[in-house]
Amino acid sequence: MTDMPETFETFLRIWIAENIGSLGSQTDATNLKYILRVRADELEKAATIKGFYGELAEAARPYGGIEGYVQHQFEKANPSRRRLPAT
């Protein structure tokens, strides 16, 4: 059995499950925007290291960038937390 090279979709699915889905509803709303900014930076770094920065930038474009994409993924994982407080 040989190791299959990781695809962008696989990388993203795993990263989101481990870093966004795990935030859950227990995250304090005041800190959430900061946490999502930090996670966006972490995603950008991880994608760059794996050679997926271009694909990430393309996927994030409709959301205004990587931070918007991460926020969107959080909202998908936590439908009851659709609106983040304004800062």
The verdict on pTM exceeding 0.85 is no
CB atoms within 10 A of CB 49: 9
What average pLDDT does this structure show over 2-28?
A: 81
pLDDT digits (tens, 9 = 90+) for 28-76: 777 888 999 999 999 999 999 999 999 999 999 999 999 999 999 998 8
* Burial status of residue 71 (CB atoms within 10 A of its CB: 0-12, 13-18, 19 or more): buried
Q: Spell out the domain ranges in the chain.
A: 29-87
How far is CA 15 from its chain centroid? 7
